[in-house]
Copies of this chain bind each other. A is one copy, B any other.
Amino acid sequence: MTIPGRRQAVRLPREQRVAEIMRAARAVFVEKGYEEALLSDIAERADVVEGSIYRYFENKRDLLVKVIEDWYEAMLSDYDQQLSGIRGTRNRLRYMVWRHLETVHEEPALCHLMFQIIRSGADYSATAVHELNRKYTHRTLDIVREGIDAGELRGDIPLRLVRDMMYGCVEHRTWAYLRGEGDFDSNHVADAIVDLVLGGLAKAPANQPRDQTIALRLEQAVARLERLDAESAPAVRSSSPSKKRRYLPGRV
């Protein structure tokens, strides 16, 4: 006999319930950020009771980690898919950066969670996200290596430094964007970054002027970027921050 007032328990197979909860969690996390997201919100949206979540996830953080992992994995496999159809060191490198920037535009909240919560956690190194990330940056290094082998790039620069610079730069921009300090154009930024890196890396025969196409592209990109910088430069400090789009949920 069902106790009156006791909610009708809908039984689902494990996988399906896990999927439901993760879908709900992702929505709530995106909407409210980590701290503001309540397990009760998530439970409600997943149409379960709070306690049920603990049958499938260790704790709130674990839930987030799983959500991010899921997203990240799908994303990276798509990266590979696309990349397989792109030829040429420059194009491939550019695609990596461009796609990264696009992702920030498409999923700012998830990116923010990824940076703030996942990647700065003490257990990050043990996370699948870490492994995925490693794989991803390896992909980038592979491209550079191919370029070196093909004789297109200088071989005397530590690969790690190149990678750190590229993604470091990307992330600086990303943070500024996530903070609502100004938008960016993925195409322009990607061009500028790749151009600068290649400009420093490109094998320049000692007594020859730099590759014409590179020099040209560089000029154009730089001109565009300077304009962009001028626009997005904060005219007056603390003018009207409310007008800026923000993607950081939470504290007001």
Contacts and interface: CB of A to CB of B under 8 A. Distances in A.
A250 B167 contact: no
Interface stretch (A22-30, A72-80, A95-103, A218-226): A218-226
Nearest to A207: B207
Prevailing SS type, chain A contact patch? helix
Nearest to A120: B116
A201 to B, nearest CB: 8
A241 B208 CA distance: 49
A193 interface: yes
A12 interface: no
A131 B252 CA distance: 20
A164 B158 contact: no
Interface string A185-212: 0000000110011011100101111100
A145 to B, nearest CB: 14
A229 interface: yes
B248 A179 contact: no
Contacts of A179: 124-125
A88 to B, nearest CB: 21
A68 to B, nearest CB: 15
A173 interface: yes
Contacts of A169: 161, 164-165, 168-169
Interface in A211-249: 218-219, 222, 225-226, 229, 237-238, 241, 246, 248-249
Which of A200, A225, A249 has most B Cβ within 10 Å? A200
| 7 closest residue pairs by CB, A with B | A168-B168, A200-B200, A122-B248, A164-B172, A116-B120, A168-B169, A164-B169
